[in-house]
Chains A and B, each alone.
Chain A
Amino acid sequence: MFARLSTPTDDDASLIERSVAEPELFGMLYERHAAAIHRYVTRRLGNVVADDVVADTFLIAFRGRARYDPARRTAGPWLYGIASNLVAKHRRAEIRLYRACLRTGTDPVAEPYTDRVEARVLSAGWQRPLAGALARLSAKDRDVLLLIAWAELSYEQVAQALDIPIGTVRSRLNRARRKVQSALNGINPMTLNEEFPRG
């Protein structure tokens, strides 16, 4: 009965293609990508909301599987793109979490996984300005920055995920990184000359 199951060597594109006729194959795509996407969304929104976002990401992906571009061999950027759109619906909640970290020095997202709260609070003075900078970024700039830093996508993959030109990825990343650097250096980014290359 398992004769027609996909083999692990199939790439994502052929798996998705075959899943149009055999929907159960889509479950393998989940096995491949769920843990990474869940961790990414958890870092942005916390553990509980991540469950909702990841379930919705795969349901939306499943429903759109017939329209997947088979030229993209790995489905990661596609799934991160869907997840990013869903994360955007929780923008206020995301910002509140960064602000809570900024105000207290204790990060509500990381706290449940940290045994030695005190040590972390004392050693990580950079967390507060960093959280503050993340809260102030525009949603678009933050998506690009975090897909690079946390999801470890390449510029090209970010461009695919967010459906934007690669030049736009570069300009958003530059702008976001300057703001984060300024915050870490204790410089108010609002006082800098806001001239950045556009993509």
Chain B
Amino acid sequence: MDDLTALREFRAEVPDAAPEQLAEVRNRWTSAAESDTARRPRTTPATIGGRSWRAGPSRVGWGLAAAGGLAVVVSLAAVAVQGDYGSAPAPAARPPAVTTVSSTQVVLAMATKAEARTPEHPRPDQWIYLKSLVPHGDGSGKVQYRAVEDWWRVDGTKTARLGDSGKVEVSPAGLEGDDRSPAQFTSYLQSLPTEPKALLNRIYQDSGESAGSTRDEKAFSEILVLLRDATIISPQMNAALLRALTLIPDIRTTPDVVDVAGRHGVGISQVRADGTREELILDSASGAYLGFRSLVEDAAKMAATFQSMASQAPPKVVSSPSGSVVRESRVTPSPPTVHDGEVLHAGARVATAVVNKAGQRP
């Protein structure tokens, strides 16, 4: 094939942006441009003249426009940082890491085992079978775990699950929230560097939405979620994620922990500012992901965190039967009664395999 023809066809599927998307982009730069001109009213007296030059019917007040301008400045700064993933700025000064040498060695040994695994290359028309244990409240207040079985088509076009009736229900991949199809996940994983330091820097960049109150907490959550959800992961990337974990300060290992499926494994955990501890559980023989747990590390601290969060929450607004809105007075709920070491939340991957059809089990 002729090179220019091939080039013109490459990514030719990309359509023109929808008018709404272009209007949104327009608002982003015009708000900054408006605040430019607003700041210099004397040099350009007739420029704005009360007219809006934004698309859309309503005029945005100058206050809002200025705020929008600020948002653009912030996004420019963010772009500058994002454009340079591989050499992200060095982490800000922080207390010296106390990740012990021995826990680092344990995780690095797991990485070496994970790296020795045979890679999988499923075809786009195959399915990933996944059986996991998820928390399930039965109304008694005590958390139970139940098994769910899912199938994901590798190309990301369909998902299937075992319905309550026992029948396999196939549906088009309706990706909700940050759910990603196996193919999207694979692409994302392949876009990550395998050099541990570069990988951690990238994870710091990409984990802004992850659970946690600090950069290191968010990064730990992100790596945990990547290992939990990546049903197809190259041995190199699996190892790289574990090596990146060892670069996060204050990571602990516990030689023998039991997951919700009753399996023994190695725990890799991080104590959080809110008094909880997040724990990743790996199979000690293969380094493979088994499950995770969220535990109470310090019940008193957790109760204090809970109370301060509750007092910051906005008062609840409820509708009265007559339709008028009633504002409820702010009530601080009593802190949950928890004890040190209690498991708050957990999950486990019981089985995963590549199969040829939805509903098929390995």
> Are B47 and A38 neighbours in the complex by a CB distance under 8 Å?
no
User: Which chain B positions have C-beta within 8 A of A130?
Assistant: 6-7, 10
Interface centre among B1, B44, B54, B86 (most CB of A within 10 A): B1
Q: Does A117 contact B (CB under 8 A)?
A: yes
Indicate if the CB atoms of A58 and B29 lie closer than 8 Å: yes
Residue interface bits A19-54, CB-to-B below 8 A is 1, else 0: 001111111001000111011001100010111111
Q: Are A22 and B11 in contact (CB under 8 A)?
A: no
Q: Is the CB of B3 within 8 A of A180?
A: yes
Give every chain B residue within 8 A of A131 (Cβ-Cβ): 10
Residues from 1 to 28 in B contacting A, C-beta threshold 8 Å:
1, 3-4, 6-11, 13-17, 21-22, 24-26, 28
A184 to B48, CA, bound (A): 54
Known: A126-B1, A181-B3. A34 touches B155 (CB 8 A): no
Please encode chain B, from 176 to 188, with 1 for each CB lying within 8 Å of some chain A CB and 0 for all others: 0000000110110
B257 to chain A, nearest CB (A): 35
Cβ of B33 < 8 Å from any Cβ of A?
yes
Minimal beta-carbon separation of A34 from chain B (angstroms)? 5
**Chain A residues near B37 (CB, 8 Å)?**
23
Q: Indicate if A67 sits at the interface (CB-CB under 8 A).
A: no
Name B's A-contacting residues (CB within 8 A): 1, 3-4, 6-11, 13-17, 21-22, 24-26, 28-30, 32-33, 36-37, 44, 46-48, 51-55, 72, 75-76, 79-80, 82-86, 124-125, 155-157, 183-184, 186-187, 190-191
In the complex, are the beta carbons of A39 and B85 less than 8 A apart? no
- For residue A86, give the distance in angstroms from its CB to the closest CB of chain B: 8
Shortest CB distance A68–B (Å): 15
- The distance in angstroms between the C-alpha atoms of A148 and B3, with both chains bound, is 12
A111 to B184 alpha-carbon distance, docked (Å): 9
Known contacts A54-B25, A55-B29; decide if A21 and B47 are in contact (CB<8 Å).
Answer: yes
| A23 and B48 form a contact (CB under 8 A) | yes
Complex-state Cα separation, A26 to B47, whole angstroms: 12
Q: Does A90 contact B (CB under 8 A)?
A: yes
Docked complex Cα distance between A174 and B55 (Å):
42
Q: Which residues of B contact A113 (CB under 8 A)?
A: 13-15
Give the residue name and chain of the A residue nearest to B46 (CB). A21
A164 part of interface (Cβ distance < 8 Å): no
Instruction: Tell me if A187 is interfacial: C-beta within 8 Å of chain B.
Output: no
B contacts with A: majority SS: helix
B124 and A121: CB pair below 8 A?
yes
**Stretch with Cβ within 8 A of B (4 or more), from A73-81, A91-99, A154-162, A190-198:** A91-99
Check A114 for interface membership: any CB of B closer than 8 A: yes
Q: List 28 A-B contacts (CB under 8 A).
A: A1-B51, A21-B44, A23-B53, A24-B48, A26-B33, A34-B25, A34-B26, A38-B21, A39-B14, A39-B17, A47-B14, A49-B82, A55-B26, A59-B72, A63-B33, A93-B85, A99-B190, A100-B191, A104-B186, A108-B184, A111-B187, A117-B155, A117-B156, A124-B9, A126-B6, A146-B7, A148-B4, A149-B7
Question: Which A-B residue pairs are the 4 nearest by beta carbons?
Answer: A24-B53, A89-B83, A55-B28, A149-B7
B27 CB to closest chain A CB (Å) equals: 9
Report whether A35 and B22 are in contact in the complex, using a CB–CB cutoff of 8 Å.
yes
Chain B nearest Cβ from A53, distance in angstroms = 8
Given the interface pairs A42-B14, A89-B84, A117-B183, the reply to whether A184 lies near B6 with Cβ below 8 Å is yes
Residues of A within 8 A of B75 (CB): 52, 55
A30-B29, A150-B8 given. 9 additional CB < 8 A pairs?
Answer: A39-B15, A52-B79, A53-B79, A55-B72, A56-B76, A91-B83, A104-B183, A107-B10, A117-B124
Does A62 lie within 8 Å of B3, measured CB to CB? no
Report which of B48, B55, B157 forms a contact with A27, defined as CB distance below 8 A. Answer: B55
- In the complex formed, the residue of B with least CB distance to A103 is B190
Would you call A38 and B79 a contact (CB within 8 A)?
no
Which residues of chain A come closer than 8 Å to B1, judged between CB atoms? 126, 184
B20 to chain A, nearest CB (A): 12
Docked-complex contact A59 and B85, CB < 8 angstroms: no
Contacts of A126 in B (CB 8 A): 1, 6
Please determine whether B51 and A118 come into contact, CB atoms closer than 8 angstroms.
no
- A90 to B82, Cβ gap below 8 A? yes
Residues of B within 8 A of A139 (CB): none
Cα separation A39 to B11 with both chains bound (whole Å) = 10
Chain B residues near A30 (CB-CB < 8 A): 26, 29
> Is A118's CB under 8 angstroms from B125's CB?
yes
Bound together, the chains give a CA A74 to CA B29 distance in angstroms of: 21
Question: Binary interface profile of A, 102-141, with partner B (CB < 8 Å = 1, else 0)?
Answer: 0110111111011001100100101100110000000000
Distance, CA A104 to CA B51, complexed state (A): 51
Please tell me if the beta carbons of A51 and B190 are within 8 angstroms of each other in the complex.
Answer: no
Choose from B10, B14, B21 the contact partner of A51 (Cβ within 8 Å). Answer: B21
Is B8 in contact with A106, judged by CB distance below 8 angstroms? no
**Cβ–Cβ < 8 Å partners of B187 in chain A:** 100, 104, 106, 108, 111
